[in-house]
């Protein structure tokens, strides 16, 4: 037993994920941004932990994912990596670190891999970033694609509504998914697109497709931890299933503590030296 859990746990690799798709075993993926949460998560049998740039929203309180920096993503990822023993750890490349040119993309990806110890990176986009994807892959860094609703492009989309409902956008998405697979991506996230389109892409690709708001016909699902735990309450898209109401639980606990301090009920005689 190591400090961070059983060292005997079978590690999830990109190869394992590929096997899961072949056998029809569903892949479970969730986000994490810090050591304490990641430690809990790794005991659950989760397959992929994503250090998502959603950290910009849920950890830093920004309105979009755009402001988070490479240094900040590296900080979050380094904390998560220390806690994970079994799952594959994927880190989002933040906005502005790969769209410019493939050389910059490569050095951003190398920083993430070198400084965090994570296993893979994720990038939003298809044909527009394919040169960067290829260059990063050529360095031996596994890349997860991300298509559909791409939060880093929110100012282009103008809204967080479901994507690819029109034929043209759906056609481009299918082409982009093929392109990413051909380039060598080990998996692709599809966010907030019609379930039929997601199932269609999933049946065409050999690599696993992970959905968020993309229905059940994909190879796996991903949710943002703070959303599914009910810590964040003002975000309720149809696809989000809340497994807990942690906002109320934490609120109640801190309220009780505050009252105990004010009423001189804490600490008691057994809680002092």
Known catalytic residues are: 191
The structure tokens listed for 123 are 């990038």
Nearest of 39, 21, 140, 22 to residue 86 by alpha carbon: 39
CA distance 111 to 74: 8
Q: What x-and-dash track marks residues 193-212 binding ligand KIV by CB under 6 A?
A: -------------------x
For residue 92, state whether it binds ligand KIV (rule: CB under 6 A): yes
> Binding to ligand KIV by residue 224, rule CB under 6 A?
yes
Please report the sign of the dihedral spanned by the C-alpha atoms of residue 203, residue 204, residue 208, residue 209: negative
Rg of the chain over CA atoms, in angstroms? 20
Does position 232 interact with ligand KIV (CB under 6 A)? The reply is: no
Enumerate residues 6+ apart whose C-beta is below 8 A from 189. Answer: 122, 144, 145, 146, 147, 148, 209, 210, 211, 212, 222
Report the residue closest to ligand KIV, judged by CB: 52
Q: Which H/E stretch holds residue 138? A: helix 130-138
Pick from 14, 54, 97, 132 the residue near ligand KIV by CB under 6 A.
54
The binder of ligand KIV chosen from 17, 37, 42, 53 (CB under 6 A): 53
By CB under 6 A, the count of residues binding ligand KIV is 11
Q: Which of 14, 52, 86, 173 binds ligand KIV (CB under 6 A)?
A: 52
CA 75 to chain CA centroid, Å, is 15
Asked if 189 is part of the footprint of ligand KIV (rule: CB under 6 A), the reply reads yes
Stretches 50-58, 128-136, 170-178, 257-265: which one binds ligand KIV (CB under 6 A)? 50-58
Judged by beta carbon, residue 8 or residue 14, the one nearer ligand KIV is 14
Q: Any contact of residue 32 with ligand KIV (CB under 6 A)? A: no
Phi/psi at 45 (5° precision): 90, 10
Minimum CB distance to ligand KIV, residue 224 (Å): 5
Binding site for ligand KIV (CB under 6 A): 31, 50, 52-54, 92, 189, 191, 212, 222, 224
């Amino acid at each position: 037993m190591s400090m961070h859990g059983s060292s005997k746990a079978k590690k999830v690799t990109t190869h394992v994920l590929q096997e899961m798709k072949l056998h029809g075993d569903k892949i479970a993926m969730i986000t994490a941004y810090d050591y304490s949460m990641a430690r809990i998560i790794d005991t659950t049998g989760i397959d992929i932990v994503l250090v998502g740039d959603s950290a910009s929203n849920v950890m830093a309180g920004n309105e979009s994912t755009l402001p988070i920096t490479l240094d900040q993503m590296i900080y979050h990822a380094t904390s998560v990596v220390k806690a994970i023993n079994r799952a594959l750890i994927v880190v989002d490349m933040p906005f502005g670190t790969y769209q410019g040119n493939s050389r910059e993309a490569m050095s951003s990806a190398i920083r993430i891999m070198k400084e965090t110890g994570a296993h893979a990176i994720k990038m939003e986009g298809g044909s527009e970033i394919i040169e960067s994807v290829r260059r990063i892959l050529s360095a031996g860094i596994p890349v997860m694609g991300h298509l559909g609703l791409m939060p880093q492009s929110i100012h282009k989309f103008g809204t967080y509504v479901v994507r690819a409902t029109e034929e043209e956008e759906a056609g481009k998405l299918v082409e982009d998914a093929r392109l990413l697979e051909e380039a060598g991506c080990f998996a692709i996230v599809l966010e907030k697109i019609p379930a039929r389109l997601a199932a269609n892409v999933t049946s065409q690709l050999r690599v696993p497709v992970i959905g968020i708001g993309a229905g059940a016909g994909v190879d796996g699902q991903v949710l943002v931890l703070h959303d599914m735990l009910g810590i964040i309450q003002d975000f309720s898209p149809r696809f989000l299933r809340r497994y807990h109401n942690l906002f109320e639980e934490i609120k109640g606990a801190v309220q009780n503590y505050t009252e105990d301090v004010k009423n001189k009920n804490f600490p008691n005689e057994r809680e002092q030296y």
